[in-house]
Structures are given as structure tokens and as C-alpha cells.
Structure 1
Amino acid sequence: MNDLLYVNGGNPLRGDITVRGAKNFVSKAMVAALLGETPSVLRNVPQIRDVAVVRGLLELHGVRVDADDAAGTLHLDPSDVEIAHVADIDAHAGSSRIPILFCGPLLHRLGEAFIPDLGGCRIGDRPINYHLDILRQFGAVVEKRPQGIYLSAPKRLQGTKIALPYPSVGATEQLLLTAVRADGITELAGAAIEPEIMDLINVLQKMGAIISVDTDRVIRIEGVDRLEGYQHTALSDRIEAASWASAALATGGDIYVRGATQPEMTTFLNTFRKVGGEFVVDDEGIRFYHPGGDLRSIQLETDVHPGFMTDWQQPLVVALTQAKGLSIVHETVYENRFGFVDALVGMGATIQVYKECLGGRPCRFGQRNFYHSAVISGPTPLSAADIEVPDLRGGFSHLIAALTAKGTSQVRGISLIDRGYEHFMDKLTALGAEFSRD
């Protein structure tokens, strides 16, 4: 595909778009279908590249996948699960980190699994060591080979007690997908409790799992011998909804995000209002708009749920370049998430990044030489530029900046945005954005 977009910015985005199921949940629910002895049905599935990648990986492992793209429905039949060829998995792996989550379900179903080198966005140190350590504690045998990592389960996996040093979403997902069919009780302390995790727990409970979540971030799973398929409607994508909200704020626009839901976005909505944005929640979605006047600078710290999520930070930073005064953003989740601001500075933004923990409590990156705090001075008019998309969320942020800037920007690498934003160019058209592919 043509990976270059010409964006003529400087005009408010106005209109009505629809957001479907959360990228960070749907792919994991698809993997969970591997654990069932009967077919599953997943609804509200977006047409994004990550879903296509997971579908391909499932099909390589013998799962029959039937999709109704218009309705957003997937039928997943795992009756004939088999081990996939190394080369085939490797062909898919460069574009997703999801293969690591196949391990637990495959060890239960087949007694073996294989992981090639993993791809995904380069936004920080996201090693698979947590995942492999977790699988070892369940009793999996891990063997490193030239093509990747081979895992086997000579006998049934056993429940275990694990304490995470940080509430990692990926590690929590790995544990859930492995523990539900392990023998005995598993306890995870320091678990992630994001809405997408809770929805995965909903799916697993529908399948027959026994899972409790305590208020102190402890998840307990009582393993069962057999799981059935599920029928489930995915929760809405709160990251995409917030991205369009930030686009409305940055461009002085008015966007109705059909499908957006308030409970998962409470923290974002509070911050959006503090900056000076307005929103209206109804039964169908949320309207986000710039009411006029000056936007206000804020002090912001990202955190695990229920804090301000890291994936909301980058799009909002673009809007903060249009706010009056000094805004401070302290990133505590990923250590390398401010690489995207270089392009904004090139467009006229005044942003300085720091290694210190600014504007909040000290975090785990404070003594580790990472640029993880940013000070944004505004408002600054943005000018068109040639931009290279660095990663999924940073890429959408650059797109917002190009839409905010006066003149025509060239945005390269836009295929990365397809990973997590369904039909984003159709949505830009619906919002009155001026752009072309030529």
C-alpha cells in the first residue's frame, strides 16, 4: 500500500464517527478461544491489522475463523487445533507481539508451543522474560532454539503463586490464559486491572473459569479441566475514542464518537475537562468538542488503571501545544514514549523533555537516565512538515498534529496506524479532513 499521506491541516474536525471493540482486548479474546472445546462468537470486532494478524495465527494453528466484517462478528472454531510450522508463525510475528500469548492455551491443548522473534511497537523495554518466567513457574519447559523459543509441557501445568514487580498488562494476560486450565489454584499479586483485563476475565468466566479479583490487585484462579466456547460483545476501544477526542481539542473541532463509553474513560474525561474541552455523554456515545476560548495548561502523570493511561498521553500532548501556559507530563508506564515530540518541535511546538520525574511522585524511571518527563509551553501555532510515523499511538498523534498545522504535511509510515485505528481514513473524510494519497 501507499504508505504516504498528504494532510492539509488548519481546519476543525467536525462530524460523527463510530468506534468498535478495543484492540487491546479483542486480540486476547481471540486467543482465549483456543482454550475452549467448542466454538466461540466474538462481536463488536474492529477491522484492524492486529485482528487480521491474530486471525492468521489462529488459522495456522487449525482454528477455523469465519468473519462478518460489516457486522463485526467472528466465529472461532478450535476443534482441530494443531501445531503450526515455524516458518509460517515467523512470517506473521514481525507485525505483532501476540504469539507469546498463544503459549499457555497451546500447552494445554497440544503440550507444546513455539514463539519466533517478536515484533510490535518500539516504545520501551517490553521483554518477554516475564512471560517465560510465568510459564516456567507453571511447569513449562522452555528451550531456546535458533529460530525462536520452543516450549513443552511434559505433564499438566500446575497452579502457582506469582507476584509481579509492576502491574504488567501482558504478564497478567499471560497468567490468566495459562492458569484457567492449570491444575490447582493460581494467585497473582500486583496484577493489572485494566478494563480490557476485566473483560478478558468476563470471557474466561463465560467459558467455565473460576476467577476472583480482590481490591488489592490480587487475582485468584481455580483451575478447571475443561472450558467451553463463549459468546461475547467486546468493550469499546477507549484509546481510539480518546484519540479522536484529542483531535477535536487540538483542531478546535466537534466530534461525536459513537460507541464510546463513559465508565472506562472517567479519568480521561476529567483531564479533558481540566484542559478546557467539553463533552456530552448519551446512550450511543460521547460528543467531544472545543467550546472556544483558551485551552488551559495542566500537570499530568500517566499510570496503570485507574490512572491516566499511557496510550492517552501522546494524542493529548498535541492538544496541549495549543493550551495557554506550561503543561507538565510525567510518563511512568513506558520509559521511551516521548520520541514522538521531536516531530512536534519541528512543526513549531515548544516541548522540552527531561530525565527527572517532574510534576509528581518519583517513579521507577527516575534514576535510570530515561527522558520520561515533558514540559509543553503554549499556545504555539504548528506549521506543516514531513513526518515519519514512529509507532501506533505516536503515529496518530503526528496525524493530529498535521491536521492542526497550517499547510500541507507529508506523513510517512501511516500503515502503522492501521494496526489499531479502524478505517481511520474513512473517518477523517467523515470529519471533513483534507488529505490525499497521491
Structure 2
Amino acid sequence: MKRPVLTYMLALGSAFHSRTSEGCALNDDDVLVVHGGTPLKGEIRVRGAKNLVSKAMVAALLADSPSTLFDVPAISDVDIVRGLLELHGVRTSIDKDRSLRMDPTNVVTAGVDEINVHAGSSRIPILLCGPLLHRLGSAYIPDLGGCNIGGRPIDFHIDALRKFGAVVEKLPDGMHLTAPQRLQGIKYTLDYPSVGSTEQILLTAVMAEGVTELRNAAVEPEIIDLICILQKMGAIIKVNTDRVIEIEGVDRLSGYRHRPVPDRIETGSWAAAALATHGEVFVRGARQVDMMTFLNVYRTIGGAFDVDDSPGGGIRFWHPGGELSPAALETDVHPGLMTDWQQPLVVALTQARGLSIVHETVYERRFGYTAELRQMGANIQLYRDCLGGTPCRWGRRNFLHSAVIAGPSKLHAADLQIPDLRAGFSHLIAALAAEGTSRVFGVDRFITRGYEDFDAKLAGLGANVERP
């Protein structure tokens, strides 16, 4: 493994091991000072979607020849997966134009101690199970990490892998899986159209013997793009109506060349920042087809946008003046309102006149970040009831999963501790919109997981920020 990647991974693993469920203590070495009140104006560019790129990298393990993934963002999640691949013998290199080449010709079993360096740094390792079982007949998975936004149990991953024929042994620090025989196709119905479980079954079924039928599957754009990659590799996958996916297992897969879908989460984050700060941001690389649900909400609230469909185009977002309008929003799986758009939109809704209602149906603890917004002057009340059109799986349970936002609220500066990736960007938007100087802690630890060249993009948009 290249020394810079290994050094980075050791440091990152240590950082995540020191994390508590409530976040990290304030660390003056990881802080961004934000002087609020300046509208964001300018242009930024989005690359391949974080939620696709890491899974595309895992898919490369299935091939018997090299793969090339273009437009890969320079984010820490990519470094984490790259480190995991290199531990398993995959040779990787990345060009200055962010084209990542992965050669899995000589996949090997990684040492348990080496893999445990990654424990807690990401939830990606669980997705390596299927590819490693196909390539090596065994896999070791460390304890998983990820943002503390609600339960994301791996039971369904393990249940599905067992049904495929894997033998799972629980160890003190992780799990050891073996495939005594070739994995077999299965019929599987998900209780909920989870993205992670759909990815797990896709990555396992493509080389399992026979046909796999997956019902109630996730159909997010990143899932469809992963299916496109697997099809390029030689997989046979049919996406039917009513969330049914059929996968016919094949004996071998070859490498791919692929340009991923642009990051729709980052696009929505900068769009919300433009609205909350009364600014104007052109997001180069954004695509309308991926953003249609978001764009409807954006327009309903009072934001304006313009789509440039030319090659190298994007979407321009801006605040057109006047007051923003309140809205009733409900997050859902695709094609509903993406849960990762909820947090930045809530910050924008604190500036709307009237009462807005947001019902979170995907993650039960995703409103934890609102405590800091209330500290800054936002009027947000949380409820355990389903304040949406239909009851959800969190209804009648002890989860604060609905929010009522009364606005407009004059936000004022505060010291903010980032609890997770998407909440961190929302805290930053609030700091940019607030009066006075805020200190935002945890930027390097969390935001760089999903946002490329973060400081440079802020500077390019005219944000008045500094590192102490």
C-alpha cells in the first residue's frame, strides 16, 4: 500500500475510535471560523456522487481485469475504500483529472489487524462481503461506523448473505464469513427499500449461481447507476416495475469504464445555502433529472433555479428576493424527498414566514442537529407523532421524528459541534446566514467525508471564513 494512504487511514481510524455517540469534544485544531451575513455568490462543481463512487469501487473487486472510474471526488470516503481495496491486493492509482484505476487481478486475504484499522471509519466494509466471498471464499468484516443518525442495523445484510449460502462467525471485533460452496441465487423481500441492503444483494447476486429475485428494492439514481456499472461488467440485471429486480448470476465479470452520476446531495446542499444566505450559486455538473423532487420543493419555498442542459452545464440556484414561503415536507425513499436534503432545507425554512412541517420517515434520529439551530435562535419544535400525510414506521415509538419550524427567525452566531456529515453542512449554512462570528468544530472530521475542496469552494463563493 502507498504510504500516504496508509498513514491517512491510521489517523482516520484513530479519530473514529475516539468518537462518542454524542460527537467529539471541541477541538481547536479542527475548526472553521465563519463570519456570517455574506450572501454566497459564484460557481462550484460537483463530481461523482459519494453514494455511488464508493460502491462502484467495491464492484471493481468482482472483476478479473482493471476498471476505471472517472470524475472521482477528492473526499475521505474515497480514501477509506481505496485503502480497503489495497489491503486486499487491488492496485490503485488516480490521475490529476480524478480518474481512478483499480486492478483486482491479484486479490488476496488481508490481515485482521490491518482491517481492524478501519473499524468504525465507514459502513462500506459490509458491502465487500459478496465480492470477497466470490473471489476468495472468505471475508473478514470489522465493526462498522458511520454517522449517528439512527439505527442502520446490518442484520439484513447477514440474513441475506446466509441465504446465499455464506457461513457467518461472529468474532469479538467483527465477523468472519466463508463460502464452502458457490453462493446460490435467492428470493428475497426487503421489509423496507433500504439502499444498503439493495446494494448488498446486487453485489452478491451477480456471481451467485442461478437467479436472484429482490422485491421492495431501493431504486435511487445511485442504485440504477450501480446496476449500469454491473451490466457493463457482464451482469444480467432486469429492473422491473414495483421495485422488483431480477439478477441472473454469471461465471465471470470484467472491468468497467464509467462516469458516475453527479452528487445530488451536494447539489442540494449548495442550493439551500444560496437560499438561506440570499445568494446565487451555479452548481456545474448538476443534472435536473436527479433533482426533480428537490427542485419542486425549492420552488415551493420561494427559491429560483435555471437549468443549463449544455455539455458541462449545471443548475443555477438563487434567492429571488421577497419572503420565503413555509412548506409541509415528508422525506421518503426515491422518488420521494431524499432524507439527506432535509437538513439543509430546514435551515432555509427557518427564514420562511409561517409554520413549516417536516416529517422524517427514513432515519429516526435525524433531527438531533436542530438543538444547535435553536441555540442560534431558530424556532423549531420536535414531536414523536407523524406530522405527515401517512403514518410511518417511527409512529407510536419514542423517536422525535417530526419538526415544526416557525419563521422567519433571526439567526445569531454560536459555537457549533458537527455531529455527522449532512448535519455539519446544515450547521455551516446556519453560520453563514447568521449575524456575527461562529466557530464550527469538526469540519475536517466529518464534512470532508462528502464534500470535495470544501474550503476552496467556500472561498470561491465569497464566504467570509478562516482557519485560526
TM-score by length of 2: 0.93
Separation in structure 2 between the aligned mates of residue 20 and residue 95 of structure 1, nearest angstrom:
22
Separation in structure 2 between the aligned mates of residue 279 and residue 144 of structure 1, nearest angstrom:
51
Deviation at 1:28, TM superposition (A): 0.1
Q: Are 1:36 and 2:66 counterparts?
A: no
Q: Are 1:339 and 2:368 counterparts?
A: yes
Q: Which residue does the alignment assign to 2:123? A: 97
Separation in structure 1 between the aligned mates of residue 171 and residue 119 of structure 2, nearest angstrom:
16
Q: Are 1:195 and 2:214 counterparts?
A: no
The 8 Å contact of residues 43 and 72 in structure 1, kept in 2 or not, is answered as: yes
Q: Secondary structure at the match of 1:295?
A: coil
Which ranges of structure 2 fall in alignment gaps of 5 or more residues?
Answer: 1-27
Deviation at 1:215, TM superposition (A): 1.4
Q: Secondary structure at the match of 2:336?
A: coil
Q: Are 1:310 and 2:339 counterparts?
A: yes
- Which residue identity does 1:278 align to in structure 2? A
- Which residue identity does 1:327 align to in structure 2? S
Aligned counterparts, 1:378-417, within 5 A: 378-415=407-444, 416-417=446-447
Q: Which residue does the alignment assign to 1:144? A: 170
Q: Which residue does the alignment assign to 2:260? A: 234
Aligned counterparts, 1:6-405, within 5 A: 6-68=33-95, 70-282=96-308, 283=310, 284-405=313-434
1:319-340 CA distances to partner (integer Å, 9 max, x unpaired)?
A: 0000010000000000000000
Q: Which residue does the alignment assign to 1:436? A: 466
Deviation at 1:315, TM superposition (A): 0.5
- Which residue identity does 2:451 align to in structure 1? Y
The 8 Å contact of residues 238 and 245 in structure 2, kept in 1 or not, is answered as: yes
Separation in structure 1 between the aligned mates of residue 428 and residue 112 of structure 2, nearest angstrom:
36
Deviation at 1:31, TM superposition (A): 0.3
Separation in structure 1 between the aligned mates of residue 397 and residue 228 of structure 2, nearest angstrom:
38
Deviation at 1:148, TM superposition (A): 1.0
Deviation at 1:94, TM superposition (A): 2.0
- Which residue identity does 2:394 align to in structure 1? F
Separation in structure 2 between the aligned mates of residue 280 and residue 87 of structure 1, nearest angstrom:
51
1:344-389 CA distances to partner (integer Å, 9 max, x unpaired)?
A: 0000000000000003211110011100000000001100000000
Separation in structure 1 between the aligned mates of residue 142 and residue 93 of structure 2, nearest angstrom:
26
Separation in structure 2 between the aligned mates of residue 35 and residue 108 of structure 1, nearest angstrom:
7
The 8 Å contact of residues 42 and 74 in structure 1, kept in 2 or not, is answered as: yes
- Which residue identity does 1:211 align to in structure 2? I
Q: Secondary structure at the match of 1:109?
A: helix
Q: Secondary structure at the match of 1:162?
A: strand
Q: Secondary structure at the match of 1:312?
A: helix
Aligned residues: 437
Separation in structure 2 between the aligned mates of residue 133 and residue 422 of structure 1, nearest angstrom:
35
Q: Secondary structure at the match of 1:32?
A: helix
Deviation at 1:147, TM superposition (A): 2.3
Q: RMSD of the TM alignment (CA)? A: 0.7
Deviation at 1:424, TM superposition (A): 1.1
Separation in structure 2 between the aligned mates of residue 191 and residue 430 of structure 1, nearest angstrom:
40
Separation in structure 2 between the aligned mates of residue 157 and residue 57 of structure 1, nearest angstrom:
23
1:177-230 CA distances to partner (integer Å, 9 max, x unpaired)?
A: 000000000000000000000000000000000000111100000000000000
Deviation at 1:90, TM superposition (A): 1.2
Separation in structure 1 between the aligned mates of residue 280 and residue 241 of structure 2, nearest angstrom:
38
Q: Secondary structure at the match of 2:353?
A: strand
The 8 Å contact of residues 2 and 437 in structure 1, kept in 2 or not, is answered as: no
The 8 Å contact of residues 158 and 183 in structure 1, kept in 2 or not, is answered as: yes
Q: Secondary structure at the match of 2:109?
A: coil
The 8 Å contact of residues 118 and 142 in structure 2, kept in 1 or not, is answered as: no
Q: Secondary structure at the match of 2:283?
A: strand
Separation in structure 2 between the aligned mates of residue 398 and residue 86 of structure 1, nearest angstrom:
37
Which 4+ runs in 1 deviate beyond 3 A?
none
1:251-281 CA distances to partner (integer Å, 9 max, x unpaired)?
A: 0000000011100100000000000000000
1:65-93 CA distances to partner (integer Å, 9 max, x unpaired)?
A: 0101x312000000010111111111123
TM-score by length of 1: 0.99
